[in-house]
Amino acid sequence: MKPSLTAGSTHRFTYRVPENKTVPHLFPEARDFQIMPHVFATGYMVGLMEWACMDMIRPHLEEGEGTLGTLINVNHTAATPPGLTIHVDVECTDVKGKLLRFNVKAHDGVDVIGEGRHERYAVMWDKFTARVSKKAAKAGVAA
Per-residue pLDDT reduced to its tens digit, 34-88: 999 999 999 999 999 999 999 999 999 999 999 999 999 999 999 999 999 999 9
Nearest C-alpha neighbor of 57 from the set 122, 117, 116 = 122
Residue 139, CA atoms < 13 Å, CB-side half-sphere? 9
Coil, strand or helix at 85: strand
Q: With a cut of 90, say whether residue 142 has pLDDT above it.
A: no
User: Rounded to a whole number, what is the distance in angstroms from the first to the last CA of the chain?
Assistant: 26
Give the containing element (helix H, strand E) for 107.
strand 99-107
Catalytic residues: 42, 50, 76
Q: What's residue 117's pLDDT?
A: 98
Nearest C-alpha neighbor of 121 from the set 50, 73, 36 = 50
* 59: amino acid identity, one letter: P
Q: With a cut of 80, say whether residue 143 has pLDDT above it.
A: no
- Residues 126/65, Cβ–Cβ less than 8 Å: no
Averaged pLDDT for residues 110-118: 98
Residues 125, 87: Cα–Cα separation, whole Å: 29
Give the containing element (helix H, strand E) for 54.
helix 42-57
Q: What's residue 50's pLDDT?
A: 98
Q: With a cut of 90, say whether residue 8 has pLDDT above it.
A: yes
CB burial of residue 126 (10 Å; 0-12, 13-18, 19+):
exposed
Reported as a pLDDT band with limits 50, 70 and 90, residue 104 is: very high
Q: What is the DSSP letter of 128?
A: H
Give the predicted TM-score (pTM) of the model.
0.95
Question: What integer best gives the mean pLDDT of the chain?
Answer: 97
Residues 100, 3: Cα–Cα separation, whole Å: 12
